A and B are shown apart, each in its own frame.
Chain A
């Protein structure tokens, strides 16, 4: 009981920061991923190559090393960030190539005839993106988007290593002060299990809802 009153607020705050990191990281990562996917679709070849290199580099290196480059290496080139903004930026960069690939395959799933038809009735390219490519592509990309956002929840614990005060960080501090490493980490594991299970259930329901609508229409 004593533990709850002593560490409860810190843990709650940590959980709040975990959720914020997850939500913002997902939103920013998705936005950057969408931009990358659109550039890859429309930009000239050299730009596409550069983007492809970016994707390979980010996907081929561990998230922890990317965070270290950003947080400890950043100041050397004048990029001085606190732990939380560095963590958010890291999460955004880390997620963007995965999101970009998801969007790309979503766009590829849009039937070619749809776009040709749009062009035939005189829609301009931006309108086609806004009214045909995005709505149709997003629906087919949704399951993968949900899936990867769930993976990102688990990546947020790595932010504790660069001292972002999220849940894992608070739990480590608590266990270092009380010497209850096993219990604290076990509870954290069970907590994440419940969280991830809940989010994936919700995600599946959201998916079912949106695709059901699609099936009825076609």
Chain B
């Protein structure tokens, strides 16, 4: 039945692969933050064209399964003549997908800010730029931190899909391990334990931030 030694032994290669899971999720969320901020700016801008583009971006990336996005991206890159390392391609794809969700988090946080804040800044003579940089964005950022940690948890789980394009993260490593040991149950449960440990830590971080930023 369930073999404890096999279960314990499979942790070593999986822990090694966990660094790729973490790398892809963390770089993915950083890239998603950059693109997501731009998309959010586009959606809040005065230009109709930019707003339309931002809307399409968000609707497309949220409407298409990440697995399909990954495959489109993975196969399309060589066709348009780009030679990108697989890990980089995975990070870009995960980051682009995350950008749609992050821009919505931003938009929600900015909308949730009391109007009086911006009005007060205007009233004491701050320029619109200063109002954004010194009043709106800092508060929106600290308000959206818990949601961003939540997004990071989703990315850790989503990163299991990049195993399909051959990147040796936890899921891919556990497939290889299961194939060599012929004990898929133990190996996959070990993989689940590692994911769970990562996500419980992140969830605790999220609760801490929520507690700290609560006004």
Q: Separation in Å of the B203 CB from the closest CB of chain A?
A: 8
Please give, as numbers and ranges, the residues of chain A lying within 8 Å of B60 by CB-CB distance. Answer: 189, 193
Contact with B along A48-75 (1 / 0, CB 8 A): 0000000011011111111011001110
Please give, as numbers and ranges, the residues of chain B lying within 8 Å of A17 by CB-CB distance. Answer: none
B187: nearest chain-A partner, CB-CB: A73
Check if A76 sits within 8 Å of B76, measured CB to CB. Answer: no
Check if B183 sits within 8 Å of A185, measured CB to CB. Answer: no
**Interface residue SS majority, chain B:** helix
* Residue A192, interface by CB 8 Å: yes
Known: A68-B174, A182-B76. A158 touches B200 (CB 8 A): no
Known: A168-B68, A192-B63. A60 touches B1 (CB 8 A): no
- B:41-91 near A, CB below 8 Å: 59-60, 62-69, 71-72, 75-76, 79
Check if B189 sits within 8 Å of A69, measured CB to CB. Answer: yes
How many pairs of residues, A versus B, come closer than 8 Å at their CB atoms?
117
Please give, as numbers and ranges, the residues of chain B lying within 8 Å of A73 by CB-CB distance. Answer: 184-186, 188-189
Check if A77 sits within 8 Å of B1, measured CB to CB. Answer: yes
Give the contacting residue for B196; candidates A57, A64, A76; CB below 8 A: A57
* Residue A101, interface by CB 8 Å: no
A193: nearest chain-B partner, CB-CB: B63
Q: Separation in Å of the B146 CB from the closest CB of chain A?
A: 16
* Residue A197, interface by CB 8 Å: yes
Check if A62 sits within 8 Å of B76, measured CB to CB. Answer: no
Q: Separation in Å of the A202 CB from the closest CB of chain B?
A: 14
Please give, as numbers and ranges, the residues of chain A lying within 8 Å of B62 by CB-CB distance. Answer: 196
Bound together, the chains give a CA A160 to CA B67 distance in angstroms of 10
Please give, as numbers and ranges, the residues of chain B lying within 8 Å of A196 by CB-CB distance. Answer: 62-64
Give the contacting residue for B67; candidates A77, A157, A186; CB below 8 A: A157
CB pairs A–B below 8 angstroms (14 shown): A60-B199, A62-B161, A69-B189, A73-B185, A76-B185, A154-B66, A157-B68, A158-B67, A181-B75, A188-B68, A189-B68, A189-B72, A193-B59, A193-B64
Please give the residue numbers on chain A whose beta carbons come within 8 Å of chain B beta carbons, in ascending order: 56-57, 59-66, 68-69, 72-74, 76-77, 154-155, 157-158, 160-161, 168, 172, 181-182, 185-186, 188-189, 192-193, 195-197
Sample of 14 further A-B pairs with CB below 8 A, known A61-B192, A62-B160: A60-B196, A64-B161, A68-B178, A68-B184, A72-B185, A73-B185, A76-B185, A154-B65, A157-B65, A168-B68, A182-B72, A185-B75, A189-B64, A196-B64
